[in-house]
């Protein structure tokens, strides 16, 4: 397995994997499949290459199997913060360590940027495997947001987590 920072050449594979995650696990993302279905390859390319973002991909046998984004705040008073979002690993690739390796790559990138002091993420309250991973990496929960997402008539709670670098 190889973890690399994605670039515009990976836009199509990134789009495919992100849409898969949004469709199969809508409760784990703030964005929706229906919204992003209309984004173009150029939209995804811009997302991957945005100045404030670092998008990492896990490849197994040259196939993209996992993604995660590190987003850095740019406002002067908040540039000490970064956020992890968009974590997704294909169902058939879970258990191979891709999620941990993706998170480690994102956190290593954050650690080598001296302005970043804190990394935040949110996770669905009932996503126990993800919470276990984040806790093992040093993240600590600091708040729970009831009804953070609403899909149809169902509500989903999120836990907010923080890692001080």
pLDDT, one tens digit per residue, over 91-135 is 898 888 999 999 999 999 999 999 999 999 999 999 999 999 999
Indicate whether 75 pLDDT > 90: no
The pLDDT, as a whole number, for residue 96 is: 87
Query: Nearest 5°: phi and psi at 19?
Result: -65, -35
Percentage of residues in the chain with pLDDT exceeding 90? Answer: 90
Sheet holding 2-5, edge to edge: 2-5, 53-60, 63-72, 81-89, 118-124, 154-164, 140-151
pLDDT band at residue 3 using 50, 70 and 90 as cut-offs: very high
pLDDT band at residue 76 using 50, 70 and 90 as cut-offs: confident
Beta-strand relationship, 63-72 and 118-124: unpaired
The pLDDT, as a whole number, for residue 45 is: 93
């Amino acid at each position: 397995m190889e973890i690399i920072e994605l670039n515009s050449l990976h836009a199509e594979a990134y789009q495919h994997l992100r849409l898969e995650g949004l469709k199969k696990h809508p409760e784990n993302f703030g964005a929706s499949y229906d919204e992003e279905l209309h984004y173009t390859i150029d939209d995804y390319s811009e997302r991957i290459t945005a100045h404030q973002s670092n998008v990492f991909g896990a490849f197994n046998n040259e196939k993209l199997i996992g993604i995660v984004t590190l987003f850095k705040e740019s406002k002067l008073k908040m540039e000490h913060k970064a956020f992890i979002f968009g974590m997704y690993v294909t169902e058939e690739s879970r258990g191979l360590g891709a999620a941990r390796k993706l998170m480690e790559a994102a956190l290593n990138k954050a650690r080598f940027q001296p302005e970043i002091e804190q990394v935040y993420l949110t996770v669905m309250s009932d996503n126990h495997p993800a919470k276990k991973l984040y806790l093992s990496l040093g993240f600590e929960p600091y708040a729970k947001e009831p009804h953070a997402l609403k899909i149809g008539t169902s509500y989903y709670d999120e836990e907010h987590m923080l890692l001080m670098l």
